[in-house]
Amino acid sequence: MDNQPKKGVNKKVKKFYIVLGMLLILLIPIAFMSGIIRDRESYKDEAVNNVKMSWADSQIIYPPSLTLNIPSKKGITKKTLELNNYEAEVEVKTETRKKGIFTVPVYIAEVELKGDFINPDGKIKNINTDLSFNVSDSKGFVSQPEFKLLSDKSATNTSKKYTKTLNTNAKNIPFEIKYEIRGINKIYVVPGGINNEIEIEGNWNNPSFDGDFLPKEKEIKNDSFEAEWEIPAIAASSLVNPRAGVSFLTPVDSYRMATRAVKYAFLFLSLTFLAFFIFEIASAKKRPVHQLQYLMMGGAMLIFYLLLLSLSEFCSFGFSYTIAAFMTIALISTYTYFVITKKENVKFTVLITTIMALLYVFLYILLMLQDFSLLIGSIVLFLIMGVVMYSTRNVEWNKDDD
């Protein structure tokens, strides 16, 4: 019977398990970071809702309708005419409103709707006609709407419906509707005619054209934009509530960017801990790093995300990222030099500073280049793995240290 004692796990592998355990523990505060970002974002949404309550919601401009109230023996028969050519011209004047520390884009839009309705009967005599329109939030009206039907003069009205006794033999009945309306964040126009032409212009320098249709032509300048859509009825026929419009976005959504940054937190911790682990097992002069020191460095790296979030609520995201990264790198580097290496290994301190600086540059590139983040990330991780394999080429994993 073999009475030789079983050989235990060597110190290198034990330390690897310890470092892995520290990483798994740090998953808990990473989850808390995500919760803090969600709380701050909901706080911002609450500020936006407060502005919305006193101003108006995002506006959807619906197409007008023309209804004939035809008298008959059974009463009044309503007949809605088909909208033929429909033009919507919207001039948006945007500004920002402060609610606490948050900035909310609001606007006043001058809306002009014009076009014509098809008159299939050819002759209308002494028929009460209702020309009406609608918007998504009537609270936003700034002035009384103006209506014009056929060649009559414009008439103001206190409602969204204009009633007129109509007499005409025209095959097409032209109209115009003008009004001013307030809104927040977004404005959309719903196409409703056989031929639809939509034009939206404004003084916002970072518009996002969304909805169901992209503009046919657009021009964005430093302080303004213009966009035009041409939408035939056949293009909108298969859609439910089709719309075209603009969102007024802030240049960088700091909460969205912070959320994306936190998703890379575990990767950053792993790569940094890996650098210290390799330093422990591959350096000529052994200097063990205690597990609590790993935790303290991990905690310092996680505070980076709090700094980034809090600073970005007052400064630009790029500036906030630079300050938060600089503070974190300086703290880890100082701790490495004075505590980990005991002032005896300047080269490793410089190395870990360089590694962390490259990691934060790498993260910023991933955040800015969202479309290429997977490609860039996979290539960089492949290179990092090659460096790790090269750095540990002389390590005897099966041989325990004396």
User: What is the rounded distance in angstroms from the CA atom of residue 118 to the CA atom of residue 29?
Assistant: 65
- Chain center to CA of 397: 47
Domain final residue pick, 190, 220, 248: 248
User: Residue 1's pLDDT is what?
Assistant: 47
- The range of the structural domain enclosing residue 177 comes to 58-248
382 and 306 both lie in a single domain: yes
Q: What is the DSSP string of 275-330?
A: HHHHHHHHSSS-----HHHHHHHHHHHHHHHHHHHHHHTTS-HHHHHHHHHHHHHH
Same domain, residue pair 212 and 283: no
Looking at the fold, whether 238 and 290 belong to one and the same domain comes out as no
Q: Do the domain assignments include residue 6?
A: no
pLDDT at 89: 96
Using CA atoms, how far apart are residues 247 and 238, in angstroms rounded to an integer? 24
Same domain membership, residue 217 and residue 113: yes
- E strand or H helix at 18: helix 11-54
- 162 and 34 together in one domain: no
- Paired tokens of 115: 């076009």
Give me the number of domains the chain comprises.
2
- Residue matched to tokens 């056989």: 194
Q: Please indicate, yes or no, whether residues 20 and 153 belong to a single structural domain of this protein.
A: no
| pLDDT at res. 395 | 62
Let me know whether 35 and 130 are in one domain.
Answer: no
Residue 384 belongs to a domain: yes
Q: Mark which of 212, 230, 248 sits at the end of a domain.
A: 248
Residue 93 and residue 225 in one domain: yes
Q: Are residues 226 and 294 in the same domain?
A: no
Answer for the pair 182, 142: CB distance below 8 angstroms, yes or no.
yes
Q: Which residues of the chain register pLDDT less than 50?
A: 1
User: Is the domain of 97 the same as that of 168?
Assistant: yes
pTM above 0.75, yes or no: no
CATH number at residue 124: 2.60.40
Q: Rounded CA gap, 323 and 402, in Å? A: 44
Residues 140 and 29 in one domain: no
Q: How far is the C-alpha of 173 from the C-alpha of 148, rounded, in Å?
A: 11
